[in-house]
């Protein structure tokens, strides 16, 4: 039996990550170790003196080395947390961000203010984190979630299955609204939500290594000014929304004005509002028809 206890490993790994200037070194160490030991994070602390077996030490060594080279911990352990839900992830999909919880929150609030069954479209669904958060927190909803990437949709399907939402969330593969057209019955959507790719060419180069080198480019990059996908959604949204429906989009911190303007130019929304996230950055734009 090795003399590496859980406590010693946590301390060593957290220090190593600190030296490597990783974000949240202690949390990252806890996540990797709890994944390898198949324990909850809290259990690491209740079993601090437990020695760790050689095979598990070898596994940890491999993951710590990869994390030290900026491979995201969420990809290494295959999951992350979003809106208090465990979400499966793989390198095919973006790792859901805490900032995106604001979009999920506002979507759920919007649906709760309405009556009757609600129809929601989640464009660019990725891991389906937004669709899952909505469906888990609002019962009377049918969601169509789309993505252009088949491999991301496989992850989305695992999350839908994990939370047994198959009868309320339908996944479709295709370019924005294109996938939906053949599946849409007479009803239009009460709400369209989307966290699209919105990184501009200039910004792409400045992204952290763990994002730029590991997360899918297709999930991030959206043309010269980062606004390509917003333009395309704005052009089509009216045709897919009910008369009192809403469009809610995540936006980059500097895109509030531009996206607001391009939504106004469609002349289909009576009201648009931008909301800031917990870092005080513009993050969600809501446009109501
Ligand atoms: C920023 S990620 C958002 C993923 C997830 N909704 C989230 O919030 O974590 C954008 C997603 O859009 C998808 N995507 C990119 N271009 C698309 C397009 N033209 N049509 C549909 N999906 C697209 C990517 O594959 C990626 O999964």
End position of a domain, from candidates 24, 53, 69: 69
Q: How many residues does the chain have?
A: 289
Whether residue 249 sits in one domain with residue 181: yes
Residues 47-81 pLDDT 10s: 999 999 999 999 999 999 999 999 999 999 999 99
**3 state DSSP class of 192:** strand
Distance of CA 89 to the CA centre of its chain: 9
What residues make up the domain containing 22?
6-69
Q: Which of 107, 126, 169, 220 to mutate to test the pocket of ligand 1 (most atoms within 8 A of CB)?
A: 126
Query: Of 229, 13, 220, whose CA–CA distance to 97 is shortest?
Result: 220
Ligand 1 and 245: CB distance under 6 A? no
Confidence of residue 254 (pLDDT cuts 50, 70, 90): very high
CB 125 within 8 A of CB 147: yes
Residues 6-35 pLDDT 10s: 999 999 999 999 999 999 999 999 999 999
Distance of CA 103 to the CA centre of its chain: 10
Cα separation, 120 vs 192, in Å, equals 6
Query: Of 158, 165, 179, 155, whose CA–CA distance to 133 is shortest?
Result: 165
Query: Which phi and psi angles does 283 have, rounded to 5°?
Result: -140, -35
CA-proximal residue: ligand 1, atom 8 (nearest): 195
What mean pLDDT comes out for the span 191-203?
A: 96
Query: Of 37, 100, 99, whose CA–CA distance to 63 is shortest?
Result: 37
Confidence of residue 186 (pLDDT cuts 50, 70, 90): low
Query: Of 219, 199, 209, whose CA–CA distance to 71 is shortest?
Result: 209
Whether residue 122 sits in one domain with residue 243: yes
> How far, in Å, is the centroid of ligand 1 from the Cα of 146?
8
End position of a domain, from candidates 69, 84, 113: 69
Whether residue 161 sits in one domain with residue 56: no
Is residue 261, in this structure, part of any structural domain at all?
Answer: yes
Residues 134-176 pLDDT 10s: 999 999 999 999 999 999 999 999 999 999 999 999 999 999 9
Whether residue 180 sits in one domain with residue 262: yes
Whether residue 254 sits in one domain with residue 131: yes
Closest ligand 1 atom to 149 CA: 25
Query: Of 136, 72, 145, whose CA–CA distance to 105 is shortest?
Result: 136
Is residue 211, in this structure, part of any structural domain at all?
Answer: yes
Whether residue 129 sits in one domain with residue 64: no
Cα separation, 157 vs 21, in Å, equals 34
For the chain, give the mean pLDDT: 95
Is residue 167, in this structure, part of any structural domain at all?
Answer: yes
Whether residue 159 sits in one domain with residue 254: yes
Q: State pTM to two decimals.
A: 0.96
pLDDT at 160: 98
What mean pLDDT comes out for the span 169-194?
A: 88
Ligand 1 and 179: CB distance under 6 A? no
Whether residue 61 sits in one domain with residue 104: no
> Does residue 185 register a pLDDT over 90?
no
Whether residue 207 sits in one domain with residue 114: yes
Whether residue 115 sits in one domain with residue 29: no
What mean pLDDT comes out for the span 245-253?
A: 97
Angle among Cα 139, 143, 146 to the nearest 5 degrees reads 150
Whether residue 214 sits in one domain with residue 128: yes
Ligand 1 and 93: CB distance under 6 A? yes
> Does residue 238 register a pLDDT over 60?
yes
Is residue 78, in this structure, part of any structural domain at all?
Answer: no
Whether residue 279 sits in one domain with residue 194: yes
Count of domains in the chain?
Answer: 2
pLDDT at 181: 78
Closest ligand 1 atom to 198 CA: 1
> How far, in Å, is the centroid of ligand 1 from the Cα of 147?
6
| CATH number for the domain harbouring residue 228 | 3.40.50.150
């Amino acid at each position: 039996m090795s003399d590496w206890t859980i406590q010693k490993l946590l301390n060593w790994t957290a220090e190593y990550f600190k030296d490597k200037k990783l974000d949240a070194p202690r949390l990252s160490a806890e996540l990797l170790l709890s994944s390898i030991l198949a324990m909850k994070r809290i259990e690491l602390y209740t079993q601090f003196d437990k020695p760790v077996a050689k095979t598990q030490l070898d596994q940890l060594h491999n993951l710590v080395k990869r994390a030290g080279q900026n491979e995201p911990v969420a990809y290494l352990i295959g999951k992350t947390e979003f809106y208090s839900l465990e979400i499966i992830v793989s390198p095919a999909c973006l790792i859901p961000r805490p900032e995106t919880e604001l979009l999920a929150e506002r979507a759920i609030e919007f649906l709760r203010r309405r009556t009757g069954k609600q129809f929601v479209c989640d464009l660019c669904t990725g891991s389906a984190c937004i669709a899952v958060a909505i469906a888990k927190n609002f019962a009377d909803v049918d969601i169509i979630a789309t993505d252009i990437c088949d491999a991301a949709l496989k992850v989305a399907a695992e999350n839908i299955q994990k939370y047994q939402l198959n009868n309320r969330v339908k996944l479709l593969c295709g370019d924005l609204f294109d996938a939906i057209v053949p599946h849409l019955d007479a009803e239009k959507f009460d709400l369209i939500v989307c966290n699209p790719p919105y990184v501009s060419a200039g910004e792409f180069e400045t992204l952290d290594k763990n994002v730029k080198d590991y997360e899918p480019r297709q999930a991030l990059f959206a043309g010269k000014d980062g606004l390509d996908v917003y333009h395309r959604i704005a052009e089509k949204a009216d045709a897919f929304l009910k008369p009192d429906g809403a469009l809610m989009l995540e936006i980059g911190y500097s895109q509030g004005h531009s996206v607001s303007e391009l939504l106004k130019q469609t002349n289909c929304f009576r009201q648009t509002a931008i909301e800031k996230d917990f870092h005080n950055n513009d993050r969600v734009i809501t446009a109501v028809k």
